Structure 1
Amino acid sequence: MATKITGTGSYIPITIERNEDFHKHEFLNQDGSSIKQQNDVIIEKFKAITGIGERRYVENHLNTSDIAFFAAQKAIENSQVNQEELDYIIVGHNYGDVKHNTEQSDTVPSIASRVKHLLGIKNPKCVAYDILFGCPGWNEGVIQANAFIKAGIAKKCLVIGAETLSRVVDKHDRDSMIYSDGAGAAIIEETSETGGIIAHQSATYALDEAHFIYFGETNNPAITDQRRYIKMYGRKIYEFALNNVPPAMKSCLDKSGYNIGDLKKILIHQANEKMDEAIVQRFYKLYNMDMPKDIMPMTINKLGNSSVATVPTLYDLILNGKLDGHTINKGDLIMFASVGAGMNINAIVYKC
């Protein structure tokens, strides 16, 4: 028996926010002081570092629970599972439903309960709950679903990663250009096939690293409302990721019993193009190898960083032939990997 992904779905918002749309923003330093450089220079450097040329934002009438529902519908249809037979609905997110032009996040009921309601599932034994695990939330939800299935208490689970980061960005912070919105979902089932989830690895670094990503005030001292925004210490995160993610990936692969040469694709959280590339390069260096060409598919240039949604969205796009130059075939060995607020890290070795 194996725990496998039997269906996927994603929702990519239709509103495109391009880099040039930020030219009129008043970017400020964290202390509120003016940044000496002109916006066109700031944006050019941003593109060179992150690889992001545009990102997607949800329409004003949509919330995180809505787009999570859209992705879930597609995954259920793709898998042809009877939704009334789902044992768990697990939703990874970080900020709940933040309605357009509001200052407060709404997390009661949970996003998972809202998705179950929108799907119209009647079965009360279908347990719905949220997981707050930073950007690796979808990966961790898959790990939990696998644990439920291996323990014999579940056979079918729906795992979703959804976020509307456009609702929690500070327009006076250069980092606001990184974030985007999106949702991805997968049906995780017990099957009689071989392969599936082979190994996984998770870790939380919270002694010195807990607040590398946090909720903070706007960079504009003239704004006195109580609203808080997603903030981060970019350099600290970059160094943390490069030092800790490659060893975690290696530990996961070694645990799987497969060789580094068996990997066909690494689907890593779309956080920062340069950072992701450096992580995967260091991972291969641990095996005294160079990073193979086309091992690391990327969507960040067009879709930005949608947190928990990046990995499942990337996987769904590749499976559906919507990412040029990349395919995943039955029997391929792949790795999911992520890093984010917490600071949390995880990796999964999966045989399709």
Structure 2
Amino acid sequence: MNIKITGTGSYIPANIEKNENFHSHEFLNSDGSTINAPNEVIVKKFKAITGIEERRYAKSHLNTSDLATFAAEKAIEKAKINREELDYIIVAHNYGDVRSGSIQSDTVPSIASRVKHLLRIKNPKCVGYDLLFGCPGWVEGVIQANAFIKSGIAKKCLVIGAETLSRILDPHDRDSMIYSDGAGAVIIEATDDEGGIITHDSATFALDEAHFIFFGQTNNQNSVDNRRYIKMYGRKIYEFALTNVPLAMKSCLDKSGVSISDVKKILIHQANEKMDEAIVKRFYELYNMQMPENIMPMSIGKLGNSSVATVPTLYDLILNGELDNQEINKGDVVIFASVGAGMNINAIIYKQ
């Protein structure tokens, strides 16, 4: 028995937010002081560092649970399964349903229960729950589904990563330009087909790193708005990721018994183009190798950082031939890897 992804789906919101749309923002430092540079320069530097030209925002009437459901419908259709046979619905997110214009996150009932409701699944034995694990949440959901199936308590699982980060952005924070909305989903099941999940690894660094990404007040000290926004210590995250993610990827690959020369693609969380490139280069340096050309597909330039949705969305785009010069064929070995709030890191070695 092998445990494989048998169907994928993604939902990419229709609203495009281009970099030039931020030229009218009043960006401030974290202490409220004025940034000594025009917005055009700020945005240009942002593009050079992150690789982001535009990102997607959900329409105001749609919530995280809606996006998750749209992606799930596609994955179910692709896998050609009866949705009533699903044993688990695992939804990775971080902020729940934040309705447009609201200052409160809505997580009761869970997003997974909402998705099950929207999918009109009647079977009470189909268990839905949410997974909060930062940006690596979808990868961790796949790891949990693998464990359920391997233990014999499940046969088919739906794992979704969905987020509407546009609803929790401080308009006065330069970092707000990195985030976006989206959803990706997969069906995972036991199969006699070759390949599947070979091995995986996860870690949480929380002694000094737990609050590298956090909720904080707006940078505008004169604001009377009491809502809190997603914040991060970018330099600390960069240094942490560059040190720890390559080691975690190597540990996972070495445990799998797969040679690094057999790895065809690395699908890494779309956090920051320069950071991701540095991570993968460092990973290959651990094997005294240069990073192969075209090994790391990227979607962040057009889609931004949608947290838990980036890896499954990227995977779905490639399988559907929607990412230029990228393909994954049967028998190819792929590494899924992510890093994010917690600080959490994980990786999966997967054979298509």
Structure 2 length as normaliser, TM-score? 1.00
- Rounded to whole Å, the distance in 1 between the matches of 2:188 and 2:168 is 30
**Number of residue pairs matched?**
352
- Rounded to whole Å, the distance in 2 between the matches of 1:176 and 1:225 is 17
Unaligned runs of 5+ in 2: none
Q: Secondary structure at the match of 2:99?
A: coil
- Rounded to whole Å, the distance in 1 between the matches of 2:316 and 2:256 is 23
- Rounded to whole Å, the distance in 1 between the matches of 2:33 and 2:164 is 28
2:224 equivalent in structure 1: 224
- Rounded to whole Å, the distance in 2 between the matches of 1:212 and 1:315 is 27
Deviations 1:277-320 (A, max 9, x none): 00000000000000000000000000000000000000000000
Deviations 1:226-246 (A, max 9, x none): 201000000000000000000
Q: Which AA in structure 1 matches 2:18? A: R
Deviations 1:90-119 (A, max 9, x none): 000000000000000000000000000000
Q: Which AA in structure 2 matches 1:101? A: G
Matches within 5 A, 1:209-288: 209-288=209-288
1:138 equivalent in structure 2: 138
- Rounded to whole Å, the distance in 2 between the matches of 1:226 and 1:36 is 27
Deviations 1:156-209 (A, max 9, x none): 000000000000010000000000000000000000122100010100000000
Which piece of structure 1 moves more, 222-231 or 14-23?
Answer: 222-231
1:26 equivalent in structure 2: 26
1:292 equivalent in structure 2: 292
2:63 equivalent in structure 1: 63
- Rounded to whole Å, the distance in 1 between the matches of 2:337 and 2:189 is 20
- Rounded to whole Å, the distance in 2 between the matches of 1:288 and 1:195 is 28
1:86 equivalent in structure 2: 86
Matches within 5 A, 1:1-352: 1-352=1-352
Q: Which AA in structure 2 matches 1:192? A: D
Q: Secondary structure at the match of 1:326?
A: coil
- Rounded to whole Å, the distance in 2 between the matches of 1:349 and 1:206 is 25
Q: Secondary structure at the match of 1:266?
A: strand
Q: Secondary structure at the match of 1:161?
A: strand
Q: Secondary structure at the match of 1:97?
A: coil
Q: Which AA in structure 1 matches 2:159? A: V
- Rounded to whole Å, the distance in 2 between the matches of 1:226 and 1:65 is 25
Which piece of structure 1 moves more, 51-60 or 191-200?
Answer: 191-200
% identical aligned pairs: 78
Q: CA deviation at 1:11?
A: 0.1
- Rounded to whole Å, the distance in 1 between the matches of 2:238 and 2:268 is 14
Structure 1 length as normaliser, TM-score? 1.00
Q: Which AA in structure 2 matches 1:130? A: D
Q: CA deviation at 1:273?
A: 0.2
